[in-house]
Amino acid sequence: MGGAGLIAFTFHEDDAHGWLEVPLFALVNMGMRMNSITPFSYIDRNKDYMPIYLEEDVDMQRFVKHYEEYHGKRLEIGNTVTYAGSAPIRELPSVNEED
């Protein structure tokens, strides 16, 4: 079971949907596989920590469950970012989209 270095995550939402921002290393450290993520989650390869924005309906729920089992603690959302109109996250490539 993990535990050190727990992260307070950021939730992003627009008028229609929401995403949990998760650094790529957090998924990798817990053994989660990228190919299990739906095409409705996005990645920002231009940032050093390569955040993945997990869509709220399926991918975020899977991650939260895995996180809480792995760490033995509830996942903490430390910040919520709300966008007027469409979130810029929608312009990012899908997690499994090739460059």
Burial-class residue 85 by CB neighbours within 10 Å (0-12, 13-18, 19+): exposed
User: What is the number of helices (H) and of strands (E) in the chain?
Assistant: 2, 5
Three-state secondary-structure class, residue 5: coil
Calculate mean pLDDT across residues 29-57.
93
Domain regions of the chain by residue span: 8-81
Calculate mean pLDDT across residues 73-82.
94
Min mean pLDDT across 3-12, 26-35, 60-69, 82-91 is at: 3-12
